[in-house]
Amino acid sequence: AYISIDSMIEATTIDKPNLCRACFDGEYPMDLPDPELLGKQLLETELAAGPAATAAADALRRP
């Protein structure tokens, strides 16, 4: 089955100018960083350094 991009956008109930459609058409509303700055390796690097090395360390200690 084929669903047009316009139909998928309509199904979101968000006005087309206010919707990031990158998941539907691969067109991002802004430039993406270099590929080496994207991906799960960023999280793995932070986790390897330990929670104290991240900006979220304080939030992790709070309930």
The domains of the chain are located at 5-52
Cβ atoms 22, 28 nearer than 8 A = yes
Q: What is the pLDDT of residue 18?
A: 87
pTM over 0.85: no
Q: What is the pLDDT of residue 63?
A: 64
pLDDT in tens, 1-46: 788 988 988 998 998 888 888 888 888 888 877 877 777 776 776 5
Residue 20 Cα distances to 10, 13, 60, 62, angstroms:
13, 13, 30, 33
DSSP class of 20: -
